[in-house]
């Protein structure tokens, strides 16, 4: 019989992590040893020391806002301490990060966390004031999107100069963009550029190393970043079949600027204006988008698994020909069986959905 002793008495520090590794191997020994004992063969029975070591190790308490960041931060914790059990992800699978509202229990969990990892740049609109007051109270909040050279929103999709704007990192257009993007000039959807997400993995690893004094986190940030870069090669390979003239995106909201910038696509238009999912397009905006879709002979509109597809579907109905509506995983991972259960698979699945829709 296997006895697992949960020891909550370990403090932070390298000792903890060395102990974690020792633990994982010794708990395997315990399993092997116990069955040997049950067979009546005393020679392989565990020593009392092996049986008494704890089998669950606590990492630092980390609260992460989105499921996408939860996937990456969870991988870093699992690499460093063998488990992501000390991490809480605020948003459930399938939540739209733009309109999620936290419960008071979740706010309480954030207030005692050693590190809060947030996307930032107003992605989590319902958390902005909560995060501000936590920071005022001295909670360590890492707003990751701000740390990876964020791109400004393109000002006017459908405009011929959209590519120039998408590459413009200067401040010249900030005032104009502010009119369209009530919450901020910079696009928070950085995770659609996997190199930026790899940098975030390294930054979170470093921050955890500083917060805990344990360098393993930094090493694990680097190794998770390497995995992300290798998954990005799969994304690029999946997209390779799309010819240059077909690399046109029309999406439910303005979430694909980083994707377009990194993987060489052109965002021809978005259904919901303003950089979030929370506003409604005017009839003039919809009419302009229909015109762009007709002019560029767009074969597909990309929807969003986390939001209602009503406006996208009715737009598709406006188009006087068959046009595909293809939902993508935009602001949240998918549930079990979706194929988008973690960040890397979500990105690879999105890439293959986009490639299929634009090449059929
Ligand atoms: Zn979004």
| Topology match between the domains 62-156+173-230 and 239-359 | yes
**Cα 68 from Cα 280, distance rounded (Å):** 25
Q: What is the pTM of this model?
A: 0.79
Q: What is the mean pLDDT of the chain?
A: 83
Predicted confidence at residue 42, as pLDDT, reads: 39
pLDDT tens digits, residue range 176-226?
A: 444 455 567 899 999 999 999 999 999 999 999 999 999 999 999 999 999
Q: Ligand 1 centre from 297 Cα, in Å?
A: 25
d(CA 282, CA 47): 73
* Each residue's pLDDT tens digit, 82-91: 999 999 999 9
| Ligand 1 centroid to residue 147 C-alpha, Å | 18
Q: How far is the CA of 65 from the centre of ligand 1 (A)?
A: 14
Percent with pLDDT over 70 in the chain: 76
Report the separation in Å between the CA atom of 339 and the middle of ligand 1, taken as the mean of its atom positions. Answer: 20
Q: Residue 106 above 50 pLDDT?
A: yes
Please give the average per-residue pLDDT across 157-166, as a whole number: 44
The rounded Å distance from CA 187 to ligand 1 centre is 9
CA distance 320 to 63: 47
Q: What is the 3-state secondary structure (H, E, C) of the chain?
A: CCCCEECCCCCCCHHHHHHHHHHHHHHHHHHHHHHHHHCCCHHHCCCHHHHHCEEECCCCCEEECCHHHHHHHHHHHHHHHCCCCCEEECCCCCCCCCCCCCCHHHHHHHHCCCEEEECCCCCCHHHHHHHHHHHHCCCCEEEHHHHCCCCECCCCCCCCCHHHHHCCCCCCCHHHHHHHCCCCCECCCHHHCHHHHHHHHHHHHHHHHHHHCCCHHHHHHHHHHHHHHHHHHHHHHHHCCCCHHHCEEEEEECCCHHHHHHHCCEEEEEEECCCCCCCCCCHHHHHHHHHHHHHCCCCEEEEECCCCCHHHHHHHHHCCCCCEEEEECCCCCCCCCCCCCCHHHHHHHHHHHHHHHHHC
Distance 134 CA to ligand 1 centre (A): 24
pLDDT of residue 156: 61
Task: Answer yes or no: are the C-beta atoms of 100 and 91 closer than 8 Å.
Answer: yes
| Superfamily of domain 62-156+173-230 in the CATH hierarchy | Nitrogenase molybdenum iron protein domain (3.40.50.1980)
User: Is a pLDDT exceeding 70 seen at residue 40?
Assistant: no
Q: Rounded to the nearest whole angstrom, what is the distance from the C-alpha of residue 211 to the centroid of ligand 1?
A: 30
**Cα within 13 Å of Cα(174), Cβ side:** 7
**What's the gap in Å between 165 CA and the centre of ligand 1?**
19
In the chain, domain spans: 5-56, 62-156+173-230, 239-359
Give the CATH fold of the 239-359 domain.
Answer: Rossmann fold (3.40.50)
| Per-residue pLDDT tens over the stretch 49-94 | 444 554 456 799 999 999 999 999 999 999 999 999 999 999 999 9
Ligand 1 centroid to residue 304 C-alpha, Å = 9
pLDDT of residue 233: 98
Span 298-303, mean pLDDT?
Answer: 96
CA–CA gap between residue 14 and residue 282 (Å, rounded): 57
pLDDT for 256: 98
Distance 173 CA to ligand 1 centre (A): 21
- Residue 199 CA to ligand 1 center (angstroms) comes to 20
111-115, 130-134, 175-179: the lowest-pLDDT one: 175-179
Q: How far is the CA of 274 from the centre of ligand 1 (A)?
A: 10
Centre of ligand 1 from the C-alpha of residue 353, in Å: 18
Q: State the distance from the centre of ligand 1 to the C-alpha of 189, rounded, in angstroms.
A: 6
pLDDT value at residue 309: 83
Ligand 1 centre from 31 Cα, in Å?
A: 46
Ligand 1 centroid distance, CA of 326 (Å): 16
239: Cβ contacts below 8 Å, ≥ 6 apart: 263, 351, 354, 355
Q: How far is the CA of 170 from the centre of ligand 1 (A)?
A: 22
Q: Name residues whose C-beta falls within 8 Å of residue 17's C-beta, 6 or more positions apart in sequence.
A: 80, 81, 214, 216
């Amino acid at each position: 019989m296997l006895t697992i002793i949960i020891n909550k008495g370990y403090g932070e520090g390298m000792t903890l992590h060395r102990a974690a590794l020792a633990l994982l191997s010794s708990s395997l020994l315990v399993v092997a040893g116990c069955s040997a004992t049950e067979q009546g063969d005393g020679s392989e029975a565990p020593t009392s020391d092996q049986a008494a070591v704890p089998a669950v190790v606590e990492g630092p308490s980390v609260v992460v806002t989105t499921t996408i960041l939860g996937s990456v931060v969870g991988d870093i914790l699992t690499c460093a301490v063998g488990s992501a059990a000390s991490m809480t992800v605020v948003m459930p699978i399938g939540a739209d990060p733009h309109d999620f509202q936290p419960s008071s229990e979740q706010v309480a969990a954030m207030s005692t966390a050693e590190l809060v990892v947030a996307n930032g740049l107003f992605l989590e609109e319902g958390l902005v004031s909560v995060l501000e007051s936590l920071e005022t109270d001295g909670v360590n909040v890492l707003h990751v999107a701000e740390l990876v050279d964020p791109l400004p929103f393109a000002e006017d999709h459908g405009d011929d100069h959209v590519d120039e704007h998408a590459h413009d990192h200067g401040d010249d257009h900030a005032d104009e963009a502010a009119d369209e993007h009530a919450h901020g000039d910079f696009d928070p959807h950085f995770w659609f550029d996997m190199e930026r997400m790899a940098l975030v993995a390294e930054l979170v690893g470093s921050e955890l190393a500083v917060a805990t004094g344990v360098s393993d986190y930094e090493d694990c940030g680097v190794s998770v970043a390497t995995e992300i870069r290798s998954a990005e090669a799969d994304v690029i390979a999946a997209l390779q079949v799309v010819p240059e003239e077909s690399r046109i995106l029309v999406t439910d909201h303005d979430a694909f600027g980083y994707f377009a910038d990194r993987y060489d696509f052109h965002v021809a238009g978005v259904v919901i204006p303003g950089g979030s999912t929370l506003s409604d397009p005017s009839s003039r905006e919809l009419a302009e988008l229909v015109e762009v879709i007709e002019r560029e002979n767009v074969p597909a509109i990309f929807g969003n698994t986390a939001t209602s597809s009503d406006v996208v579907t009715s737009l598709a109905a406006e188009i006087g020909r068959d046009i595909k509506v293809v939902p993508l995983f935009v602001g949240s991972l998918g549930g079990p069986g979706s194929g988008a259960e973690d960040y890397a698979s979500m990105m690879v699945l999105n890439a293959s959905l986009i490639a299929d829709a634009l090449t059929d």
